[in-house]
């Protein structure tokens, strides 16, 4: 959410930003906010004047009563009653205008960084850099679920009977490999100085609307029927929510955390062949990294965060690239975002395995996360990035380490988490 003062003083900048995000239908919101904000400030000023007048008259009543001037005091009491009636109406208007402003401000996107490429959708995202040499093998690499089935590591049919499409059973070595990747990612981030956390897997609606836009909420979140609770789509939601309404001490900043959680997502819409299997699913597990920091430090943290994901994947000999997300591909609260994509030898192209985002103060404003400063409190900046989401990571790992005989080499960094197993051998 933007600063109302910034919008009030820079409506043209806010409108231009909306245009850059190809959301022209939101342009009227800016003028509506300005109109309701003006009305709100007018009634607030009138309300303050009436309150001051009431306080003055109340003091006068006390003085008159002390001096035995009861009739005059009673006359002034009637004036106070009239003021109270007027204030009741004023306060109703204040509440109405405040809500009208807030509801619109929640829909206006964050100001994107100057370096963000302008484009309507993800086809306009821009490659930044490649890390590692993508290999095109001289033998066929099977579809990832076929590899897993040969290793007796996945059961999609049973999952469909139990929960429907978009779910899976991992078994045997594949289940163990899944856990190994998560555990390795946890230790990797702890070694970077991050604090390990396991957060709540459900959150209240006022946290949901604090961490994401209404469009994202509708497309992603599962609601618990009959309760004000939603299943998290990523641990970022509950981790940033941890600081809701808090005033943070400067000496405790930055907060750098890495969190584990299952993630639950609707994943609305039809998907192609490559997004079947375990690529786009309703339930998965993920290791995340989250930073709450000083505003002037957030861009340095942004570069650190995505580089950690690149380093993690390269430690497992998986080629990756970074991709700058264009304006139309950015969620409303994001100022800048880049995807980390892993190489798929089977498809001979890259696919998304993680996303790093700087939300500047957008989440902090919505959730009331401030830092205590010497000259007053100010809003923190928040960032998040995927360390690893094993379902997609497993696709990249299996394809990049697949051998012609159907076996899969385990990257050396995972050996200790696999009980010393160095290769997965398919059943004959």
Residue entry with tokens 């996360």: 369
Give me the pLDDT at residue 270, please.
Answer: 45
Q: Which residues pair with 349 in a beta bridge?
A: 344
Measure the CA–CA gap between 368 and 125, rounded to whole angstroms.
Answer: 32
Q: Which residues have CB under 8 Å from 19's CB, separation 6+?
A: 27
Measure the CA–CA gap between 183 and 166, rounded to whole angstroms.
Answer: 24
Give me the pLDDT at residue 372, please.
Answer: 96
**Topology at the third CATH level for domain 122-424:** BirA Bifunctional Protein; domain 2 (3.30.930)
Give me the pLDDT at residue 116, please.
Answer: 98
Give me the pLDDT at residue 19, please.
Answer: 98
Give me the pLDDT at residue 288, please.
Answer: 98
**CATH code 1.10.287.40 region(s) in the chain:** 4-105
- For 226, the token pair is 């009959």
**CATH code 3.30.930.10 region(s) in the chain:** 122-424
Q: Are 333 and 363 in contact (CB under 8 A)?
A: yes
Pairing between strand 370-372 and 378-379?
A: antiparallel
Residue entry with tokens 């779910």: 167
Give me the pLDDT at residue 273, please.
Answer: 46
What is the dihedral angle through the alpha carbons of 98, 377, 306, 324, rounded to the nearest 10 degrees?
40
Q: Which residues have CB under 8 Å from 198's CB, separation 6+?
A: 259, 260, 261
Give me the pLDDT at residue 276, please.
Answer: 66
Residues of the chain with pLDDT under 70: 62, 66, 268-276
Measure the CA–CA gap between 122 and 96, rounded to whole angstroms.
Answer: 38
Three-state DSSP class for residue 170: strand
Q: Cα–chain-centroid distance for residue 116?
A: 18
Q: Architecture of domain 4-105 in CATH?
A: Orthogonal Bundle (1.10)
Give me the pLDDT at residue 242, please.
Answer: 97
Give the count of beta carbons closer than 10 Å to the beta carbon of residue 185. 25
pLDDT tens column, 189-208: 999 999 999 999 999 999 99
């Amino acid at each position: 959410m933007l600063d109302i003062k910034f919008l009030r003083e820079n409506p043209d900048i806010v409108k231009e930003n909306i245009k850059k995000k190809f959301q022209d239908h939101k342009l009227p919101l800016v003028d509506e906010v300005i109109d309701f904000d003006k009305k709100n400030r007018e009634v607030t000023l009138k309300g303050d004047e009436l309150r001051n007048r009431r306080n003055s008259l109340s003091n006068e009543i006390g003085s008159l009563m002390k001096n035995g001037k009861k009739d005059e005091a009673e006359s002034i009491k009637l004036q106070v009653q009239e003021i109270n009636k007027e204030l009741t109406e004023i306060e109703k208007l204040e509440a109405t205008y405040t809500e009208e402003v807030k509801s619109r401000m929640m829909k206006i996107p964050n100001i994107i960084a100057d370096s963000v490429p302008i484009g309507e959708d993800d086809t306009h995202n821009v490659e930044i850099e490649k890390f590692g040499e993508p290999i095109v093998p001289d033998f066929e690499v099977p579809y990832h679920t076929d590899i897993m089935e040969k290793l007796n590591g996945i059961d999609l049919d049973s999952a469909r009977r139990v929960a429907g499409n978009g779910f899976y059973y991992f078994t045997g070595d594949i289940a163990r490999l899944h856990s190994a990747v998560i555990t390795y990612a946890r230790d990797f981030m702890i070694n970077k100085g991050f604090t390990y956390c396991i957060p709540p897997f459900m959150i209240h609606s006022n946290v949901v609307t604090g961490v994401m836009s209404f469009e994202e909420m509708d497309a992603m979140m599962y609601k618990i029927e009959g309760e004000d609770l939603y299943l998290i789509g990523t641990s970022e939601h509950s981790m940033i929510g941890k600081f809701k309404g808090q005033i943070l001490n400067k000496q405790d900043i930055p907060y750098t955390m890495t969190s584990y959680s299952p993630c639950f997502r609707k994943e609305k819409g039809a998907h192609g062949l490559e997004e079947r299997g375990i690529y786009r699913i309703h339930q998965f597990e993920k290791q995340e990294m989250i930073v709450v920091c000083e505003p002037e430090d957030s861009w340095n943290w942004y570069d650190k965060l995505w580089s950690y994901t690149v380093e993690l994947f390269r430690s497992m000999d998986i080629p990756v690239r970074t991709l700058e997300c264009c304006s139309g591909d950015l969620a409303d609260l994001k100022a800048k975002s880049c995807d980390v994509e892993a190489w798929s030898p089977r498809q001979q192209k890259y696919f998304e395995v993680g996303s790093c985002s700087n939300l500047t103060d957008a989440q902090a404003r919505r959730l009331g996360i401030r830092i205590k400063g010497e000259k007053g409190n100010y809003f923190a900046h928040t960032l998040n990035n995927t360390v690893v989401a094993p379902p997609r990571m497993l696709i990249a790992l299996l394809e990049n380490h697949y051998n012609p005989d159907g076996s899969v080499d385990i990257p050396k960094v995972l050996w200790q988490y696999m009980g010393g197993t160095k290769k997965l051998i398919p059943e004959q």
